[in-house]
Structure 1
Amino acid sequence: MMPFEKCPACGNEMIEKEVEKLLRGGNNTAALKVHAEVCLRCGERLYTQETVRKFEEIRANLEH
């Protein structure tokens, strides 16, 4: 179940789909495929709290 039915940025419909996310840290970059809610109009992406925590962990490791 998606927490947002409408995009918080523009009010349009959101759908869940797999997207590619690039994370950068220091001189390193990681490309990940994750699930996100994506706005059909403006492209706004919303990630779960768990996914955002993973982004933070990966970004911290990239900086070393």
Structure 2
Amino acid sequence: MIARSGANMEAACPVCGSPVRLPDDVIPGELLECGSCGAVLEVFEEGGSYALREAQGVLEDWGE
């Protein structure tokens, strides 16, 4: 889990544990790719912070 604001926000990949950098304008539901293992990850909000979970059944969010 990561803080909601601040520079260089990161969260741990739930698949391999590597840090994944989150964009400053990240939003819940956004899809990111882990640079270490290639897993597609979904950003979600939990208790005022963001976290990552492995995306299920989604191949591309087309930048949405």
Give the TM-score range, shorter chain.
Answer: 0.3 to 0.5
- Higher relative helix content: 1
The two structures have a TM-score, normalised by structure 1, of 0.34
> Which structure has the bigger radius of gyration?
1
The two structures have a TM-score, normalised by structure 2, of 0.34
